[in-house]
A and B are shown apart, each in its own frame.
Chain A
């Protein structure tokens, strides 16, 4: 009975996919984190010592110092970034300034760069040989190294993330509330305080939490521009890479996990509340011109865009300058001899290769995984229903796990002699795996959103027509969702190019990555080559992003007949 056989195959594919996803996430996310937990309870030799490591760490002066420093750094970054991002997003969503698309794109530039780029730029600008050193001194600081530089560099890196959330938060607004306020003769400032701000409050909280979490988990910025200002992420690195003390590294990693997990839960609670805020009947708000307001906001947006471009441009310029700031003649030496001398000639090709794998495999796994979870009726399965919550929970976990923590988890888990997957250690594969897992949550959410927009009954219809669901997946679901798949792919590529936090523990001499090599070049005092590597990363991300956008544009144009619909 071939018909019955094919039904069995279909069921196997449907259930097997979810089970496979749940197990893969278990293997490459939960078990590494669990072994980190176990490791924190062991001494250096692997003997069980209970909470002795925690006791030692909490008793050390480093603990109090780093914890306070980390929280101060994260809090200041949040306070510095979010208001600026809010005003920027407000200008784009709620005023009539020209060239909104341009400003929006400029605000996204930091995403293309590793956070180290901003740190390097600020050293060029405000460092001991910087042109603008006097500004730092005028503001009352001795040097840019330490808290001032860290906050500025982190603010640059986190700015687009805050802006994106706030743009979305400010896009949701009901014009009728403003009309009602107008009909009651409400002045503008009162509308802002009573309608605009309350409407955007969830976006503000979300943005603040994202910036805070990014700063808490950040490793590169404090490493390069932190000076003696020690933070938890640096402690983890020192314990693991400096002293090879994995147990202590695990302890600090778990301490680092705490604020990130807390922020994650606050954010999900906030998001759940936000859903009820707008009804389907809301009328979108569209701003009317107000010359004074629009003029001031335009000036602000131009200023911020200028600063963003200046920071980017400084690193790019520095990478072409012979000896900053004494010999400003241009050269390509940093890109050639600079890399070779430091032995990082293979770093950029490695990064491109890794990013390409993440873009391909990551997008395929994430989209297929989301499809299996959402569309194959796994929730109704009597025997495999458990796989769905297991996979769903794990899909959201990476959002709450700092890359450093994931990285040590991977070392502890895959470097263990008892692990049959130990052969992965030191390979390109483990870099790809850790990066895909690290950035899984956002990609998963993008895929789920795209899938939820599809008619729920496609699978039912194809079953009634005796077409296996995987054929419909291939013929209908993938083509319809292709723009989202391309987005996911681009997201993985850019993040793989710029990330250092998880992979800094996992690379081998053969698999050095471009972003990591910036750390080494900087440490060796070769700032020019470090800037060159950062520039190379930005250029790669920018070109690839442009290619992705072009492909997406081409695709949407080609399929316009059915996407938009032109009724005849």
Chain B
């Protein structure tokens, strides 16, 4: 076994899944390392849950192989694979106490009662609910139930943990708290984890690597920052975070014309005369609060049409002069907004950070 294979927890090769005429997954390839937390993220219907269920053996792929710890489990039933799973609905057994729920998989392994009790106590402590063994699931809050589901899945010490939208049934505060807890727990135990979510924020904040999916294919795999800063496709740029899309024409040598304005970006291979789209994050700009803007490249100015106040920051829609009606979302921290007097109708100058611009051919999206 090579070093690479030894550190590999899971490998998917050419996974294909069709439900009748509908193709849910198209030849998906992916390798996951030991101890990694990987998030499958994408809009509903993108195939992320199907892929998770194939890894769990709850669905059978139409073609392709699933290799776990070097063992081909492509056709193994769920019970012959090694994983723990947590569902969005928790699926806790309502008529069993918390203790019996957590011990559910242990009892079957013919361990002694003392050993089981010790393990249950250990797990309940791990998820921060040490004294709840005698309660029933219906007596606990959603977040607590989710922790119990996690403890139950971890009880048999599986080498792989599968989380299917585990936080989407919770309210916003509880969700944010559990994000951090799950992440810490996963780091501490070092268990390889796959988390499926439609929430890109959740994916970015929790994952070691993000797998962005759409229409049954993987659009991009990468670290959260990488996926955010260098989206591989227009879909990823659009799905992860907020983005401005500007219709432009390539002038060659990294120059583009938007409306009557010319923008400078690093040189790439796109031919002059081609219609393109420029993708820019709202924060890819320099404002006048850091010093004078004069002399900077890509200097623009425009009237604020609308300001969305979002707590510690705000997003202003600016009708940029010379853009021929194309507007841009621009990010202001609350302090910047106050210092620069961002209000409806005010003219705001700013410079675009050309090096951050992503260029895609217009036909692609």
Binding site for B on A (CB under 8 A): 3-4, 7, 10-11, 380, 455-458, 460-468, 471-472, 475-476, 479-480, 559, 561-568
Q: Is B39 an interface residue (CB 8 A)?
A: no
Majority secondary structure of chain A interface residues (helix, strand, loop or mixed): helix
**In contact, A463 and B136 (Cβ under 8 angstroms):** no
Given A458-B93, A476-B95 in contact, is the A561-B77 Cβ separation under 8 Å? no
Given A466-B156, A561-B139 in contact, is the A455-B89 Cβ separation under 8 Å? yes
Complex CA gap A465/B157 in Å reads 10
Stretch at the interface among B80-88, B238-246, B347-355: B80-88
Complex CA gap A110/B67 in Å reads 63
Q: Which residue of B lies closest to A559 (CB)?
A: B95
Complex CA gap A105/B329 in Å reads 66
Specify which of B60, B79, B104 lies most central, judged by the most chain A CB atoms within 10 Å of its CB: B79
Closest 7 CB pairs of A and B: A565-B138, A465-B105, A463-B78, A562-B136, A457-B91, A455-B91, A476-B93
A-B contact pairs, 24 of them (CB 8 A): A455-B90, A456-B91, A458-B91, A464-B78, A464-B79, A464-B85, A464-B158, A466-B108, A466-B109, A466-B156, A467-B105, A467-B108, A471-B108, A472-B93, A480-B94, A562-B94, A562-B95, A562-B136, A562-B137, A565-B137, A566-B138, A567-B141, A568-B135, A568-B139
**In contact, B91 and A460 (Cβ under 8 angstroms):** yes
**In contact, B139 and A461 (Cβ under 8 angstroms):** no
Complex CA gap A34/B175 in Å reads 59
Provide the residues of chain A in CB contact with B155, threshold 8 Å: 465
Q: Is B152 an interface residue (CB 8 A)?
A: yes
Q: Is B116 an interface residue (CB 8 A)?
A: no
Q: Which of A458, A460, A462, A476 contacts B56 (CB 8 A)?
A: A460
Complex CA gap A561/B56 in Å reads 33
Distance from A382 Cβ to chain B, minimum over Cβ atoms (Å): 9
Binding site for A on B (CB under 8 A): 56-60, 77-81, 83-85, 87, 89-91, 93-96, 104-105, 107-109, 135-141, 152-153, 155-156, 158
**In contact, B91 and A461 (Cβ under 8 angstroms):** yes
**In contact, A561 and B136 (Cβ under 8 angstroms):** yes
**In contact, B79 and A565 (Cβ under 8 angstroms):** no
Provide the residues of chain A in CB contact with B60, threshold 8 Å: 380
Q: Which residue of A lies closest to B81 (CB)?
A: A464
Provide the residues of chain B in CB contact with A465, threshold 8 Å: 84, 104-105, 108, 152, 155-156
Provide the residues of chain A in CB contact with B56, threshold 8 Å: 460, 464
Provide the residues of chain A in CB contact with B94, threshold 8 Å: 476, 480, 562-563
Provide the residues of chain B in CB contact with A559, threshold 8 Å: 95
Provide the residues of chain B in CB contact with A471, threshold 8 Å: 108
Provide the residues of chain A in CB contact with B80, threshold 8 Å: 3-4, 7
**In contact, B91 and A480 (Cβ under 8 angstroms):** no
Q: Which residue of B lies closest to A463 (CB)?
A: B78
Complex CA gap A86/B77 in Å reads 52
Provide the residues of chain B in CB contact with A467, threshold 8 Å: 104-105, 107-108
Given A457-B91, A460-B56, A462-B104 in contact, is the A562-B138 Cβ separation under 8 Å? yes
Q: Which residue of B lies closest to A14 (CB)?
A: B77
Q: Across the A-B interface, how many residue pairs have beta carbons closer than 8 Å?
A: 101
4 extra interchain contacts, Cβ-Cβ under 8 A, other than A455-B87, A476-B94? A456-B91, A463-B79, A464-B85, A562-B95
Provide the residues of chain B in CB contact with A562, threshold 8 Å: 94-96, 136-139
Distance from B355 Cβ to chain A, minimum over Cβ atoms (Å): 47
Given A457-B91, A460-B91, A476-B96 in contact, is the A466-B136 Cβ separation under 8 Å? no
Provide the residues of chain B in CB contact with A380, threshold 8 Å: 59-60
Distance from B292 Cβ to chain A, minimum over Cβ atoms (Å): 55
Complex CA gap A321/B152 in Å reads 67
Q: Which residue of B lies closest to A8 (CB)?
A: B77
Provide the residues of chain A in CB contact with B152, threshold 8 Å: 461, 465
Complex CA gap A479/B94 in Å reads 10
Given A475-B93, A476-B95 in contact, is the A567-B87 Cβ separation under 8 Å? no
Provide the residues of chain A in CB contact with B140, threshold 8 Å: 567
**In contact, B138 and A564 (Cβ under 8 angstroms):** yes
Q: Which residue of A lies closest to B108 (CB)?
A: A467
Provide the residues of chain B in CB contact with A568, threshold 8 Å: 135, 139
Provide the residues of chain A in CB contact with B93, threshold 8 Å: 458, 472, 475-476
Distance from B185 Cβ to chain A, minimum over Cβ atoms (Å): 18
Complex CA gap A561/B96 in Å reads 10
Provide the residues of chain A in CB contact with B87, threshold 8 Å: 455, 457, 460-461
Complex CA gap A7/B80 in Å reads 8
Given A7-B80, A457-B89, A460-B87 in contact, is the A563-B138 Cβ separation under 8 Å? yes
Distance from A529 Cβ to chain B, minimum over Cβ atoms (Å): 49
Complex CA gap A252/B155 in Å reads 64
Q: Which residue of A lies closest to B53 (CB)?
A: A460
Complex CA gap A472/B79 in Å reads 13
Q: Which of A11, A466, A479 contacts B105 (CB 8 A)?
A: A466
Q: Which residue of B lies closest to A479 (CB)?
A: B95
**In contact, A466 and B139 (Cβ under 8 angstroms):** no
Distance from A6 Cβ to chain B, minimum over Cβ atoms (Å): 8
Provide the residues of chain B in CB contact with A10, threshold 8 Å: 79
Provide the residues of chain A in CB contact with B141, threshold 8 Å: 567
**In contact, B104 and A565 (Cβ under 8 angstroms):** no
Distance from A481 Cβ to chain B, minimum over Cβ atoms (Å): 10
Q: Which of A7, A460, A472, A565 contacts B139 (CB 8 A)?
A: A565
**In contact, A565 and B156 (Cβ under 8 angstroms):** no
Q: Which residue of B lies closest to A472 (CB)?
A: B93
Distance from B165 Cβ to chain A, minimum over Cβ atoms (Å): 12
Specify which of A7, A466, A565 lies most central, judged by the most chain B CB atoms within 10 Å of its CB: A466
**In contact, A7 and B138 (Cβ under 8 angstroms):** no
Complex CA gap A466/B95 in Å reads 20
Provide the residues of chain A in CB contact with B78, threshold 8 Å: 460, 463-464
**In contact, A7 and B79 (Cβ under 8 angstroms):** yes
Complex CA gap A475/B104 in Å reads 10
**In contact, A464 and B104 (Cβ under 8 angstroms):** no
Provide the residues of chain A in CB contact with B57, threshold 8 Å: 463
Q: Which residue of A lies closest to B57 (CB)?
A: A463
Provide the residues of chain B in CB contact with A564, threshold 8 Å: 138
Complex CA gap A457/B87 in Å reads 8
**In contact, A464 and B139 (Cβ under 8 angstroms):** no
Q: Which residue of B lies closest to A457 (CB)?
A: B91
Q: Which residue of A lies closest to B100 (CB)?
A: A475
Distance from B71 Cβ to chain A, minimum over Cβ atoms (Å): 14
Q: Which residue of A lies closest to B134 (CB)?
A: A561
Distance from A457 Cβ to chain B, minimum over Cβ atoms (Å): 4
Q: Which residue of A lies closest to B106 (CB)?
A: A465
